[in-house]
Amino acid sequence: MRALRPPGRERRPGRHRGGANGLAAAADGTVYVAQNGGAWHGSGPAPGGVQVIHDGRVDYLVEVDGIPNDLVFGPDGRLWVTDPVREFTWHNGDGGGPGRVLAVDVSSGAVEVVLEEGPVFPNGLAFAADGVQLLLTATSSAQVLEYDVTTAGLVGGRALARILDGHPDGCTLTERGLWVATTSGHRLDLIGLDGTLLDSVSLGARSLPTNVCPDHDGTGLYVTASLQGALVHVTF
């Protein structure tokens, strides 16, 4: 894993086995990693779970029987984690089975399953500004789903949008809408909260973007282009 700091200086905060997928940073600089255990061409077997990096040291916050994919801090302060549960060919969802969403307490490591029978291959996730809805990308079905956040977990799973000519991966919510890394479409899609496609940004053939986040000053986006092994900075 690599960390970039403006104007491009790089440091290596930790080395991983397995498969380091999504990342989430806390206010104190602690970094949390969705560790998929080595699925999808990882760098060797490792327990699945959520890892924590602090002062260059890598530890497990919690191990889970699954393959955590992405994670984000929720309005309750917990880490909400997508888990496809088992490895399969991502464009053939018939072999996958339902995925799930977990909520992990970063203080205790306590895990709650907030969505048990979710879509095949749940992937990116983002909370709406009011914190009462969770937006979730379902890679196999090429959809963005909307769930209500309740004390009993996630409820609903309404189809907010269908991604055309590609499959959604990571996502991030900005003032303009939900930016989705559309992997096999090699682009970013901007989805409004009413499900409307507002914009698309091509990243070039064979980029295969997998995740996206706002840049340090909020004027652009950082995108991981996996087939190119590159971090792309998109400005508007």
The DSSP string of 15-29 is --SS-EEEEEE-TTS
How many folded domains does the chain comprise?
A: 1
Question: Are residues 181 and 170 in contact, defined by beta-carbon separation less than 8 angstroms?
Answer: yes
Question: Are residues 103 and 78 in contact, defined by beta-carbon separation less than 8 angstroms?
Answer: yes
- The domain of 33 spans 3-235
Q: What angle do CA 69, 180, 110 make, to 5 degrees?
A: 30
Cis peptide before 122 (omega within 30 of 0): no
Is pTM beyond 0.85? Reply is yes
Alpha-carbon span 145 to 64, nearest angstrom: 24
User: Model confidence over 51-110: pLDDT tens digits?
Assistant: 999 888 999 999 999 999 999 999 999 999 999 998 776 555 556 789 999 999 999 999
CATH of the domain at 183: 2.120.10.30
Residue holding tokens 């970039």? Answer: 4
User: Model confidence over 151-205: pLDDT tens digits?
Assistant: 999 999 999 999 999 999 999 999 999 999 999 999 999 999 999 999 999 999 9
